[in-house]
Structure 1
């Protein structure tokens, strides 16, 4: 049996930011990550302006700027038969007017290096949380299993679940949630990028509802498909996927045969939910463990990081003083941004995704954006609102004083 003031389960962005911030406050913190490294096929590689600003406040901006990355500042889509700018960040009132597309393992390694410089921080790789330790109604810690098969316990004043939408700790703590049905799932795959392709854009096509993000040497592609339609659609030739995209984006015509096997196209089943209460005595859920987000807008990581910053600012003084942590205060601080963002995503599902999917099925030979996007394209002032909320977030969090280091601009 071991002890840590705070145990954080999950070495994703929320868990690593939380561990770093608490350690800089002097809190003894242990982060558990079930894998042996961060080199996995992360799909959430977007770093939003608020997270970029947070990295500056933590004194990590210059180091982050040296990571391989692509800056995306515009979204383009088909309006009246040609690709037009649907949204741009170039005029938003934020410090960083772009989303940085960075391999998530690079970001996590950066955070790990910074956290390991703090004497009260410990990162345990190949260590998977398997359950919780109960003392009456209180969660007193976790049980774990290592890759070698060894088992153990870590008791803690506070355990934080940052282990995603299928959180083991959330299930073990029996925290009830509310869920919403999303009308779509997502196919993910990559296409090679040529030097003559568009630069620094997100390209959207209405036919097949495809989204392409510029990643430098490749395009990260997402195709939105009707919920549950994956088995049926995979009965078609796999080359139809890129061929259909190339009808709208002719510069993809030389890559139609690149995707040769359906195994190259991964399925992401979209779920949305939110816990009624994010905590019970001794346990707090953050990020997707508290509120699974839709991939619309790519806001899930940014929202999880903001949760972590708020939790560190509120809880670090209490953990240092031995005061019972006020977990309800964390939920009160982060509930409104979560509710509003999920409502915005559900509105996008209803007003943009469902009409687009309907057009793709009923009129597959017509390349036209949903009416909502066509209206927004004509009203720049209005279309800037959802983009501003995606870029900045609702109630953005800043690094607490105890975690700040001299900012270095990029």
Structure 2
């Protein structure tokens, strides 16, 4: 009967980081990833300063900076006079953590996986999904492992002292445990798509500037050879957008970004629009005996601020720091699991509250075709006192109560030769 000390369902940023940290603590850990690789479009790619600092502490900073990436150094909003105002200036933060890195998520995940494979207690099982929970006949409702299924249809039970659900906002294991998140209202959905990026546009994108027109918002993120574009509109618009057809959608994009007009023919079908049903929620209790939820499985985040990856990684660091010793000594208790939620609840709640305020004060009026009054006020303050732009930059870059790598996981940076 296959066994491990900890099984992590989901090979995203939270799952891979937790697997790496626990393995460095000497805990036998198995990470399950249902796909054959990490190559999937339209996942969160913003790596904030808190995560970059963490990678430095883990001895992975040099390898991370060698990955293909762009650096964002400020967040701007367009004004009626055509001159953008800086709302968050990351350059005011202490170097070297004075930017947000835009890195394809698959590159980050491969970096973490390669670092974890060096550890003798780490196992990564690709093309293997966790499909359900195993009970413990001797201990009532205690979770004792997971049911797995490979891409080839082979089913197997994997027993473990702890199951960690890092399987995203549609968590199969959360549902199997009967844990239901509290949902907060969100006024918009997001449609992701790609557009070509010309050779002349391959330089750094120092600022992230959303474009607003009428009832629509558009953001573009630079990638090697293409732009990853996010189109925002009111919730429930997906059917209407698709019924209008791709030509009408191209017109919407052109109105927001006239400079993209020369490449919109690359969008050939509404099938190329990947709709994200935006959620903002939080599970009241993140654990059951033998089970812990982290990342989006515990709290789905709005894309406002792009903080989802980084909060998930912070959950993983806190979980590893608090649980490594009891896991290694096979004495894990329910109070141990409860400590993870207590440690991460305040920063999660603070960020979600800030996102709800942004939804109400910025997105709701913008999607109604009005210039948000909050934006005008913030713009006036930022122009009068430029140093105030450090505050939102600090909140976005590090968040409240950022985590540091536990001592057992730290490694010196490689010496360059």
Short-chain TM bin:
over 0.9
Partner of 2:20: 20
Partner of 1:253: 261
Ranges of 4+ aligned residues in structure 1 off by more than 3 Å: 195-199, 239-250, 381-384, 407-410
CA distance in 2 between counterparts of 1:312 and 1:191 reads: 39
How far does the alpha carbon of each residue in 1:270-292 deviate from its partner, in whole angstroms, 9 at most, with x for none? 11111110001100000000011
CA distance in 2 between counterparts of 1:372 and 1:217 reads: 36
1:156 matched to 2:160? The reply is yes
Matching residue within 372, 375, 385 for 2:377: 375
Consecutive unaligned residues in structure 1, runs of 5 or more: 361-368
Q: Is the CA contact 2:42–2:228 (under 8 Å) kept in the aligned structure 1? A: no
CA distance in 1 between counterparts of 2:256 and 2:285 reads: 45
Partner of 1:331: 341
Matching residue within 388, 397, 410 for 2:394: 388
- TM-score, reference length from structure 1: 0.93
Using a 3 Å threshold, how does the CA distance of structure 1 residues 318 and 186 change in structure 2: closer, same or farther? same
How far does the alpha carbon of each residue in 1:89-135 deviate from its partner, in whole angstroms, 9 at most, with x for none? 11124632111111111111111110000000000011111111112
Q: Is the CA contact 2:184–2:280 (under 8 Å) kept in the aligned structure 1? A: yes
The equivalences for 1:182-193 within 5 A come to: 182-193=186-197
Using a 3 Å threshold, how does the CA distance of structure 1 residues 211 and 409 change in structure 2: closer, same or farther? farther
Q: Is the CA contact 1:56–1:408 (under 8 Å) kept in the aligned structure 2? A: no
Q: Is the CA contact 2:25–2:324 (under 8 Å) kept in the aligned structure 1? A: yes
How many pairs align?
402
Aligned-pair distance for 1:250? 3.5
Aligned-pair distance for 1:386? 2.8
SS in 2 for 1:75: strand
Consecutive unaligned residues in structure 2, runs of 5 or more: none
Aligned-pair distance for 1:266? 1.1
Aligned-pair distance for 1:216? 4.0
- TM-score, reference length from structure 2: 0.92
1:316 matched to 2:320? The reply is no
CA distance in 2 between counterparts of 1:157 and 1:164 reads: 21
Aligned-pair distance for 1:347? 0.5
Q: Which moved more, 1:336-345 or 1:145-154?
A: 145-154
Q: Which moved more, 1:302-311 or 1:173-182?
A: 173-182
CA distance in 2 between counterparts of 1:193 and 1:171 reads: 41
How far does the alpha carbon of each residue in 1:303-327 deviate from its partner, in whole angstroms, 9 at most, with x for none? 0000000000010011112222400
Aligned-pair distance for 1:204? 0.9
SS in 2 for 1:318: helix
Q: Is the CA contact 2:92–2:390 (under 8 Å) kept in the aligned structure 1? A: no
Partner of 1:342: 352
Q: Is the CA contact 1:62–1:409 (under 8 Å) kept in the aligned structure 2? A: no
Partner of 1:91: 92
Partner of 2:55: 55
CA distance in 2 between counterparts of 1:319 and 1:224 reads: 43
CA distance in 1 between counterparts of 2:388 and 2:357 reads: 15
Aligned-pair distance for 1:214? 2.2
Aligned-pair distance for 1:179? 0.9
SS in 1 for 2:190: strand
Partner of 2:129: 128
CA distance in 2 between counterparts of 1:40 and 1:318 reads: 35
1:214 matched to 2:222? The reply is yes
Matching residue within 172, 195, 198 for 1:194: 198
